Structure 1
Amino acid sequence: MPDVGPSPERVRAALDELLGWQGIARSPQLAELLRYVVERTLSGESASIKAYSIAVDVFDRPQDFDPQSDPIVRVQARRLRTLLEQYYEGGGATADVQIHLPLGRYVPEFRTIAAADAESAAREARPLMAASPRRLSRFLVNAVLGLAFTLVGVGLAVVIVRWFLPPTPPEIVSAIPQQPRLAIGAFDNLTGEPVLDDDVRQIAQRLTTALARFEMVSLGAEGPVVNGTVQQVNGRFVLRATIVDPATNSVRWTTTINAPTGATDTVALTTASNILAAQLGNASGPLHASGRSWLKLQSKLPEPPTSYLCDLLYMSWRDSRRLDDADAGVACFEKILASSPDDALALAAAAGMRAWRTQFLATPSDNLSQLMTKETAAVGRAVSLRPDSSFIHEQQAVVLGRQGSVDAAIGAISKAYELNPANMDVASVYGTLLWINGQYAEGMGYSEQSLAAIPFAPSWYHLTRAFNALREERFFDAIDAAQQVASGDEEFGPVIALAAAPRAARQDLIDRYRPLVMDNPHFQVSGIIPRLAMRVRPTGVLQRIRDGLILAGLPANTLDRPFNPNGSERPPADTP
């Protein structure tokens, strides 16, 4: 009788177990990829699971998506495959079915644990059980003697090592990464149109000018070299760039950028070079990748800190939005300021993180302007020291926005964008500030610009998109964006996803995010809507959230008043 495999119910039980595991739950994209390939397979649609369909359906890529130029599906599938292996090797699985993603394929395999274990045990037992009694007896005697000699040998080896060999030296922490350096190489015209030679040559100069505005990148003749080519494909300029390590002549990074259509040649190539500068200068880009990887491996940071080490801590906090990461970053910058009190970048970064920390720990009744007096003064001083810095003006906008001075914040972020229009962090903040000020279309323009430029945008870039989709009642889009936000925002990400889930008939998301919202201590202290109102103005969006949360089954009293984890009302004097 042929093996029909485990039932859909058992597979979905295994799927739910995986989706509840923190390793996958903290990455909404990977969770949706896993759900997509499993459900398609269970529905008998495994033949349609291709890189293109995944890119369009899961990762929101356009209909003209090209798997050859955009590796997002391969990259995310590799991440998911690794996580699945880690989960099952860790021994924490309880479901009787395992879900695996075979190498080189996107169609999952469902393996029944009991059957697999039984087959493995049978294979191991067959040679032994088939042996004669005499051979079996001899086998057992030899096995016992071998085990005894092995134990004696291991014991003697341990004694010899302990007595005669010197102690193992402590692990040496690798060198602290330095601020990345980049050399700008040549860009070649492969369009076959000599009239474009000058425009293509100008890319290197435009790139140099744009990257010089990023304070965390150094340009020079030494270090990795970025170069590239320009071709015309279907009437559109395609810029391909690579970073090459001159010491090994190996490629460290590559990207493909499609220039906009409907513009002059010069404008199209200028836009493409600015997108390249945005990717190179971004915190999630290739220049900071090794530094950020190094930071994740450190259990204790070396002393004294360098400015770039503090920058790495800032980047890590901005993506995670965790309190301990903010504290570590602030402490690092304060050590820099102790010896260099006029370090404007350190002043601004520390002020921005402290402002977030103050707002995060505050309640709706607190006066945030008064609580952030020191941060406002510090970032104002930083602006006076370095009025040409886009990053510092951005931090001023962040501080002002967090205390509710949105109009002043928009003025500061406008200056930051003027100083460095290739800084997509600035563009994303600009979009959010405009949007929460009621300037929806303009805010979405800046927000979408940042998401289009950065291939693997940090979670907080998606916040404005989530807000706007909910406002326009595009609930599936709101869920997609909110799940991105949720990996770095424990309030708005889960709340927007939960509010949109009933309208999208996603009971699975209600089951996933309802406990996260109900267990949030800040919501419990203030009520959900008053807490959210500390960060967003448009009442229409707050009303959409209110309606959605009621549909999701949240008790009405949790929306506006303090509550206990079980939803019952509690006195407002309680604290987290």
Structure 2
Amino acid sequence: MQNAGADRAGSDISSPEEVQQQLEHILSSPEFRLPERARRFLEFVVTETLAGHRDYLKAFTIAQAVFGRDASFDAQQDPCVRIEAGRLRRELEHYYLTAGAADRVIITIPRGGYAPVFEVRQGAVPADMPQTGQSAALLPSGDDAQQIPPTAGRRSRDKTDRRVSRPRHWLAAGGAMVMITAAAAALQYARPFDTGNEISSGAVGRPIIVVERFESASGSGVASDISQGITDDIIEKLVPFNDIVVAAVLPRNRDGQLSSQPIYALQGSIRMEGETLRSTARLVRRADGTVIWANNYDADMKVQGLLQTQASLAEDIATAVARPFGVIFQADTANIAGNADAFSCILSYYSYRSEMTPQAQEAAKSCLRHAAEKMPDDSNIAAFLSLTYLDEFRFPYQLNTKPTAATLAIAKELAERAVRLDPKNARALQALMLANFFGNDPTEAMRAGEAAYASNSNDTEVAGEYGLRLAMSGKWDRGCELISDAVGKNAGPQGYYEVGMALCAFMRGDTQAAELWSRMSDLNYNPMHRLVLLSILGTLGKSAEAKEQIDWIEARSPALILNVRREVVRRLARIEDQERFFAGLKAAGLPVQNDPPAN
């Protein structure tokens, strides 16, 4: 029989034990890559649903049970639960596209709420029985499936969201796939190839995304026009991402053979349902047919109108596909060892920034140096090498580096060269912004940051870093808006920009939200993250918790304590912001250099 909590699961789920077993299977999988807090989130909502407490799962109760918030929590002012739920949905999607591709029980958290839905893959066997094969279809949620209220604007739906009454196909990595048969549209290339569809020298080494025309599933003339329009818009939005090459047909070399570069096909479809425009999109690695990313999007055309809705969906899809630290830059990291081509070195950089160890940084720097020697006119290589040197200033206590004026001069020269080679390269302009920022030239730093953001506002790395520099220069409103937008778009590395949100809340006096954002950041990514939390805890008067952070810093990064004032002044431009930060540190019990020692 079915349990009350799993009433949407489908008739094949006979007991809560099967759902509980699937939960444990997910949590123990190496492909489920979320921190402990997100794991508690998933465990809490599944357990409460199985216990029949579905209606109890609101942002307020989750904030209290999982995040430890008190009765003053306001979901409108503090989006922590919504953001964490979004991450959880994306990670569940990743799990079911990889390790869970053949799992019998599917656990999803549909948008619009936090209550999970349990479904069964048709033809699959229970997890405690041998797997003899896998089915591509899932059961629908049932007639009593949760109804998600219409929203005012567009929303994205995870691939595992089953809110329609007919079965959909499960796009499993290495499994059966639904492939679009529409021919590629005859569109212009980004960073044009040579005659025909041949790769140009400037495009060699970068991953190629072939954008196929989105299929019209509605059959109407309007839908057909939209499918062409959204395809054009996606290409337009992808073009500014210098890390990739965008094409509308398969590129070939001078011998007529397919390029040996990594090639991905971006496929999708659109359909009209009343005033709702629904789009599916997926990214397929052509070498083996693996679907490495998939998502669904809904948009209400009454809000923005047809053209703006189409452009907004295209922006969402392009950003999800091409953003730094995104799927393309995670998919092939296992193949970079020993390579020194442009793409491998860029993968090495993203891998290092996610890992954040001195060994990974040195490996990325070495790769980029060799690539710069072979390709001195490659703007991207110069930009990434500049960023690698600049990281010695951004993360000295994590990477155990001693930044010098000579290092900064090398980084700035590389950034300037990258901009000369390609004045519209957002990554090059980002590097120039940081070089000027740490060179104590805020005016030029903001000018370069503004140009980088204007070049590609959909680049989450550019938006986040520019937002951080704006905020720390004292323009908190505009800077925090950009940081928040970057976090909302899942900017990476994971847990990096949340510390910016913590500073934003701290400087506006909302110390409770500041603490929550700080704890949502990756505290082990950079000792400076713990310094931010320490100042917040001191302001809140949480002496015992502050002492834990001081002990950690003293044990792992004692040099930071000796240089606290210098590091804070280097980052926070306004005196009032510095003093607020120092006051929190002093209240926490951390002596700040140049202050008399306590008796």
Q: TM-score range by the shorter chain?
A: 0.5 to 0.7
How many angstroms does 1:270 deviate by? 0.6
Q: Distance in 2 between matches of 1:105 and 1:205?
A: 32
Q: Structure 2, unaligned stretches of length 5 or more?
A: 1-27, 68-77, 110-114, 116-203, 251-262
CA distance 1:28–1:294, shift in 2 (3 Å): closer
After TM superposition, the structure 1 = structure 2 runs for residues 246-395 of structure 1, keeping only pairs within 5 Å, are 251-259=291-299, 262-294=303-335, 301-302=337-338, 305-358=340-393, 360-361=395-396, 372-395=408-431
Which amino acid letter does the alignment assign opposite residue 204 of structure 1? T
Q: Which residue of structure 2 lines up, in the alignment, with residue 20 of structure 1?
A: none
Q: Distance in 1 between matches of 2:304 and 2:476?
A: 26
CA distance 1:367–1:76, shift in 2 (3 Å): closer
Which structure is higher in helix share?
1
Task: Give the one of 527, 550, 553 matched to 1:491.
Answer: 527
The answer to whether residue 258 in structure 2 is matched with residue 205 in structure 1 is: no
Deviations 1:308-353 (A, max 9, x none): 1210121123334433332222221111222333333222221222
SS in 2 for 1:71: helix
After TM superposition, the structure 1 = structure 2 runs for residues 49-64 of structure 1, keeping only pairs within 5 Å, are 57=63
CA distance 1:76–1:54, shift in 2 (3 Å): farther
The answer to whether residue 502 in structure 2 is matched with residue 466 in structure 1 is: yes
Q: Which residue of structure 1 lines up, in the alignment, with residue 92 of structure 2?
A: 74
Instruction: Tell whether the 8 Å contact from 2:275 to 2:300 is kept in structure 1 after alignment.
Output: no
Question: Taking every aligned residue pair, what percent have the same amino acid on both sides?
Answer: 14
Q: Distance in 2 between matches of 1:66 and 1:367?
A: 35
Instruction: Tell whether the 8 Å contact from 2:348 to 2:364 is kept in structure 1 after alignment.
Output: yes
Q: Distance in 1 between matches of 2:544 and 2:90?
A: 25
Q: Max radius of gyration: which structure?
A: 1
SS in 2 for 1:350: helix
Q: Distance in 2 between matches of 1:63 and 1:328?
A: 37
The answer to whether residue 37 in structure 2 is matched with residue 32 in structure 1 is: yes
Q: Which residue of structure 1 lines up, in the alignment, with residue 75 of structure 2?
A: none
How many angstroms does 1:470 deviate by? 1.1
The answer to whether residue 266 in structure 2 is matched with residue 226 in structure 1 is: yes
Q: Distance in 1 between matches of 2:56 and 2:93?
A: 11
The answer to whether residue 567 in structure 2 is matched with residue 531 in structure 1 is: yes
The answer to whether residue 586 in structure 2 is matched with residue 559 in structure 1 is: no
Which amino acid letter does the alignment assign opposite residue 433 of structure 2? A
Instruction: Tell whether the 8 Å contact from 1:451 to 1:457 is kept in structure 2 after alignment.
Output: no
The answer to whether residue 559 in structure 2 is matched with residue 522 in structure 1 is: yes
Instruction: Tell whether the 8 Å contact from 1:203 to 1:273 is kept in structure 2 after alignment.
Output: yes
After TM superposition, the structure 1 = structure 2 runs for residues 425-464 of structure 1, keeping only pairs within 5 Å, are 425-454=461-490, 458-464=494-500
CA distance 1:44–1:547, shift in 2 (3 Å): farther
SS in 2 for 1:486: coil
Q: Which residue of structure 2 lines up, in the alignment, with residue 215 of structure 1?
A: 242
Deviations 1:59-93 (A, max 9, x none): 98688899899724736999xx99xxxxxxxxxxx
Q: Distance in 1 between matches of 2:274 and 2:535?
A: 42
The answer to whether residue 209 in structure 2 is matched with residue 182 in structure 1 is: yes
How many angstroms does 1:468 deviate by? 0.4
Q: Distance in 1 between matches of 2:80 and 2:438?
A: 34
Which amino acid letter does the alignment assign opposite residue 264 of structure 1? G
SS in 1 for 2:571: coil
SS in 2 for 1:407: helix
Instruction: Tell whether the 8 Å contact from 2:59 to 2:81 is kept in structure 1 after alignment.
Output: no
Deviations 1:198-226 (A, max 9, x none): 23321111212222322222334344322
How many angstroms does 1:373 deviate by? 2.2
Q: TM-score, normalised by structure 1?
A: 0.64
CA distance 1:478–1:72, shift in 2 (3 Å): farther
Q: Distance in 2 between matches of 1:355 and 1:70?
A: 32
Q: Which residue of structure 1 lines up, in the alignment, with residue 5 of structure 2?
A: none
How many angstroms does 1:463 deviate by? 3.3
Instruction: Tell whether the 8 Å contact from 1:522 to 1:531 is kept in structure 2 after alignment.
Output: no
Deviates more, 1:204-213 or 1:30-39: 30-39
Could you say what the CA RMSD is over the residues aligned between the two structures, in angstroms?
Answer: 4.6
Which amino acid letter does the alignment assign opposite residue 494 of structure 2? P
The answer to whether residue 496 in structure 2 is matched with residue 421 in structure 1 is: no
The answer to whether residue 481 in structure 2 is matched with residue 476 in structure 1 is: no
How many angstroms does 1:453 deviate by? 2.3
Count residues with an aligned counterpart.
Answer: 440
CA distance 1:358–1:494, shift in 2 (3 Å): closer
CA distance 1:210–1:385, shift in 2 (3 Å): same
Q: Distance in 2 between matches of 1:49 and 1:77?
A: 24
The answer to whether residue 438 in structure 2 is matched with residue 402 in structure 1 is: yes
CA distance 1:460–1:247, shift in 2 (3 Å): closer
SS in 1 for 2:424: coil
Instruction: Tell whether the 8 Å contact from 1:231 to 1:237 is kept in structure 2 after alignment.
Output: yes
Which amino acid letter does the alignment assign opposite residue 71 of structure 1? R
SS in 1 for 2:332: helix
Which amino acid letter does the alignment assign opposite residue 521 of structure 1? P
CA distance 1:488–1:236, shift in 2 (3 Å): farther
How many angstroms does 1:34 deviate by? 4.9
Instruction: Tell whether the 8 Å contact from 2:216 to 2:224 is kept in structure 1 after alignment.
Output: yes
The answer to whether residue 583 in structure 2 is matched with residue 547 in structure 1 is: yes
Q: Distance in 2 between matches of 1:69 and 1:535?
A: 29
Deviations 1:398-449 (A, max 9, x none): 2112222222111112112222222111111121111112111211222222
Deviations 1:451-473 (A, max 9, x none): 22237763323232121011123
